[in-house]
Amino acid sequence: MAQRKLGRGVAIVGAGMSPFGTFARMATRDLFVEAFLDMRGSVDKGLDPDDIEALYVGNYSSDLFEGQGHTAPLMADWVGLTPRPATRIEDACASSGVALREGIIAVASGLYDVVLVGGIEKMSNLPTGEVTDALATAGDALYEIPAGFTFPGFYAAMATAYMHRYGAQSEHLIQVTQKNHENGALNPKAQFGQRIADIMEGKKERAAAKGRPVPEWESEMAFFHDDRANPMIAAPLRLFDCSPISDGAAVLLLVSEEIAGQFTDEPIRVIGSGQASGRALHDRDTLTSIPAAQRAGQMAYEMADVTPDDIKLAEVHDCFTIAELIAIEDLGFFAPGDGYKATEDGMTARTAPRPVNTSGGLKSKGHPVGASGAGQTVEVFKQMRGLAGERQVAHDVDVALTHNVGGTGQTCAVHIYERGQA
Amino acid sequence: MAQRKLGRGVAIVGAGMSPFGTFARMATRDLFVEAFLDMRGSVDKGLDPDDIEALYVGNYSSDLFEGQGHTAPLMADWVGLTPRPATRIEDACASSGVALREGIIAVASGLYDVVLVGGIEKMSNLPTGEVTDALATAGDALYEIPAGFTFPGFYAAMATAYMHRYGAQSEHLIQVTQKNHENGALNPKAQFGQRIADIMEGKKERAAAKGRPVPEWESEMAFFHDDRANPMIAAPLRLFDCSPISDGAAVLLLVSEEIAGQFTDEPIRVIGSGQASGRALHDRDTLTSIPAAQRAGQMAYEMADVTPDDIKLAEVHDCFTIAELIAIEDLGFFAPGDGYKATEDGMTARTAPRPVNTSGGLKSKGHPVGASGAGQTVEVFKQMRGLAGERQVAHDVDVALTHNVGGTGQTCAVHIYERGQA
């Protein structure tokens, strides 16, 4: 079945986000307002909020994290959009990638010209164990969770299979972490915006200040193999293989392509959108790739009429280090089993022709799950527009991609963007 | 701002539902499969499930009710739709009314020709108090719930204000219950498909069988005023003013109008769709109407180019008796304050020119919250196609309406349907 085109073109003309981190004194609505204001400031020619016709907001589970359901109209109210239609989209950690797709579809349908797309999550209210339990509900609550699985365990199973099949070592996983922290150190909104060397130095300083033995590591890899500094979470995944528990919000402004010039002379056109579903991990044929990601990627490439080689920058879903390696293979950037070698060779670094996760990725920037997909698009918007500050890549990013996964791959949304002219 | 039209026409060519009730041995996925198979049987010329291109599923909070998030791809899997895109829509009790709108928008966008829309909820796993708490998260968890509000309390406040302002009595509320049970008694899928007289008789029989004093009531109204038979829940609302805790699923098949003839010679065209958001109740200007419902209705009427007088049958959101009275006023069927008089005069009865809730409504049919909106459309489909069995209305239903409210009115979705010819 050939991938159909959208009824009309859609462009992103504004993008913003709150800092990602843990904010004890803020509720989801506060983070959303912050992201909204940041987005508003990014619209070159200004935005009258009255022109916004609808809101789609991705949110995994404010129900479980915050005791607050029915979040969409609440977000609409707090940025002054009442009585505009406000719809919450939930597809686990792909919630706002899918919300973006719904926003695109809504503009393409002709019903709206101006749509706000958001992503939100406030996870830090709960103790870590309860966050883990809440996230586990994105698996299969009848067939997987009773067997003891939580998300580090799911991805540990994928990592084990990948390492066994392709010969990757734990060092290859951690190279993803090193790269993403290197990038995140240049992102002022990142939750853990420090290079690994700085994290090591900080640990030494804090030990000295407390009069404890100052740890010494021969190398970064020695640090990563230190069970105290980097404890095992679910073998082979250690702490630094895992994205953090985060609070945050991200917001995008979508308009029909015909009117993009009213907002900016540099619209970011959405030229490809793919979404696919997958079975729960226990019922899947493979652990070393995510079929829904492969299919969503194919859909997006076909709609955009580009190939993986055309992509000049990608933000992919590195909820765990293994997830980035699988992502860059599923997207066709590298052949199956070559992702870890390519990473080792620096082919995903910020200075490479097709850098991956220049924002710091979910690992360093943070992973407020329902906000992560929209957050990826914020990075693409900034890099394509030359607004990424210290982490701005040197080459021209005319075409870019985002890859947002829900659960272990029961959902994937892939989008492809092209810098247009109004 | 004039209401825009959809990019292309959309028709409903199949509709089905599980029974509504409490089903201890079934999970959400089982109910969804049952509704899917019922829908499939309703497609006159047959349906190849491979032709379905995407799934939108409305669900309020399987997270809280069932410990299962990320429900959409799971539902897709259980009816064999993997890897089609599967998206969960959440707008509290309006979740599947909004999912219907998203399905309509998606077909109108040109991206899909055939879309499945579902609604699901499995509420009976939890004890009643926890269900009430879970539902309360559809209010404002910061400003309303800490003050002690739950949903019977919210609607009791609305009922009190309505009665005070317009002079309605509790008898007027209960006339909604009498009518809806009269209708639900003719609906084999209703959870409480009994007329009030039969419920009274049943109570007497059970008392006699247990050797207890057999209650005697002089009239139905005496029964409704009996604090033991019909206890006060949140004054002035008693037990029989409230819809029940329910499990259930409903499924609709949407196609682009051009290909409707491949499925049936009697498509139900969607000619109007409206959705609006509203503030939380504590921050609203009125308690006697729901502004989001008024606006969603106006949007739908304008898109459909019809007036309230053109509607030949309506399913409205009677989560509490007061909600139906407010609904029929918000939709313009009757002037503000006249809804209770019209109900008393039989103008919403099944034999009236514009009957309301022929299915039994949420009160008698049941209210599995995420499924209720899609369930309303199932009734419209059956009545417009002459498939409603014993409760089939005598007049020709060429134009019908559904009205689905989330929370206390933070969301409302209204749809208008016209019987078409393929």
What does the mean pLDDT of chain A come to? 96
Is pLDDT above 80 for A5?
no
Q: Which of B5, B138, B275 is facing A70, going by the closest CB pair?
A: B138
Give ipTM to 2 decimals: 0.97
What is the DSSP-derived secondary structure letter of residue B138? T
Read off the pLDDT band of A289 (50, 70, 90). Answer: very high
Q: Coil, helix or strand for B85?
A: coil
Residue B103 makes CB contacts below 8 A (sequence gap 6+) with: B10, B54, B56, B115, B116, B117, B252, B254
Q: Which residue is closest to A91 within chain B, CA to CA?
A: B70
Q: What is the mean pLDDT of residues B265-282?
A: 97
User: B120: part of which helix (H) or strand (E)?
Assistant: strand B114-122
Is pLDDT above 50 for A148?
yes
Q: Coil, helix or strand for B3?
A: coil
Position B1 scores a pLDDT of 46
Residues of B in contact with A102 (CB under 8 A): 87, 102
Beta-strand ranges (E) seen in B218-290 are: 232-234, 237-238, 247-256, 268-277
Q: Which of A87, A277, A411 is facing B102, going by the closest CB pair?
A: A87
Q: What is the mean pLDDT of residues B295-308?
A: 98
Q: Which residue is closest to A10 within chain B, CA to CA?
A: B109
A-B interface: how many C-beta pairs under 8 angstroms? 220
Separation CA A72–CA A105 (nearest Å): 18
Inter-chain residue contact B111 with A406, CB threshold 8 Å: no
Report the amino acid identity of residue A374: A
Q: What is the mean pLDDT of residues B298-311?
A: 98
Inter-chain residue contact A74 with B410, CB threshold 8 Å: yes
pLDDT (tens digit per residue) in B32-80: 999 999 999 999 999 999 999 999 999 999 999 999 999 999 999 999 9
Inter-chain residue contact B142 with A91, CB threshold 8 Å: no
pLDDT (tens digit per residue) in A45-66: 999 999 999 999 999 999 999 9
Is pLDDT above 70 for B104?
yes
Q: Which two tokens stand for residue A312?
A: 């000049």
Our answer to whether residue B367 is catalytic in this structure is: yes
Angle at the Cα of B168 (from B166 to B174), degrees rounded to 5? 145
Read off the pLDDT band of A4 (50, 70, 90). Answer: confident
Read off the pLDDT band of A2 (50, 70, 90). Answer: low
Our answer to whether residue A412 is catalytic in this structure is: no
Q: Which of B76, B86, B111 is facing A105, going by the closest CB pair?
A: B111
Residues of A in contact with B60 (CB under 8 A): 69
Is pLDDT above 80 for A3?
no
Do residues B111 and A6 lie in contact, with contact meaning Cβ atoms separated by under 8 Å? yes
Is pLDDT above 50 for B217?
yes
pLDDT (tens digit per residue) in A378-387: 999 999 999 9
Position A27 scores a pLDDT of 96
CA A106 to chain centre: 22
Read off the pLDDT band of B422 (50, 70, 90). Answer: low
Q: Which residue has the higher pLDDT, B66 or B1?
A: B66
Position B7 scores a pLDDT of 76
Separation CA A290–CA B157 (nearest Å): 50
- A198 Rama class: left (phi>0) / alpha (psi -120 to 50) / beta: alpha
Q: Across-strand partners of A419? A: A268
Inter-chain residue contact A88 with B83, CB threshold 8 Å: no
Minimal Cα–Cα distance from A339 to chain B, Å? Answer: 24
Inter-chain residue contact B73 with A110, CB threshold 8 Å: no
Minimal Cα–Cα distance from A197 to chain B, Å? Answer: 38
Comparing CA positions, the residue from B18, B150, B93 lying closest to residue B290 is: B93
Comparing CA positions, the residue from B84, B52, B417 lying closest to residue B251 is: B52
Q: Which residue is closest to B66 within chain A, CA to CA?
A: A141
pLDDT (tens digit per residue) in A102-116: 999 999 999 999 999
Residue tagged active-site, from B172, B181, B317, B367: B367
Minimal Cα–Cα distance from A90 to chain B, Å? Answer: 5
Do residues B319 and B155 lie in contact, with contact meaning Cβ atoms separated by under 8 Å? yes
Inter-chain residue contact A110 with B7, CB threshold 8 Å: yes
Residue tagged active-site, from A172, A317, A367, A415: A367
% of chain B exceeding 70 in pLDDT: 99
Q: Across-strand partners of A10? A: A256, A270
Inter-chain residue contact B6 with A110, CB threshold 8 Å: yes
User: What does the DSSP assignment read for B293-334?
Assistant: HHHHHHHHHHHHT--GGG-S-EE---SBHHHHHHHHHHTTSS
Q: Which residue is closest to B277 within chain A, CA to CA?
A: A83
Is pLDDT above 50 for A1?
no
% of chain A exceeding 70 in pLDDT: 99
Position A6 scores a pLDDT of 80
Residues of A in contact with B90 (CB under 8 A): 59, 69-72, 88-90
Residues of B in contact with A139 (CB under 8 A): 70
Q: Which residue is closest to A76 within chain B, CA to CA?
A: B277
Position A7 scores a pLDDT of 75
Is pLDDT above 80 for B125?
yes
Position B3 scores a pLDDT of 66
Q: What is the mean pLDDT of residues B212-222?
A: 94
Q: What is the mean pLDDT of residues B240-255?
A: 98
Do residues A30 and A242 lie in contact, with contact meaning Cβ atoms separated by under 8 Å? no
Residue B208 makes CB contacts below 8 A (sequence gap 6+) with: B214
pTM over 0.90: yes
Separation CA A81–CA A416 (nearest Å): 28
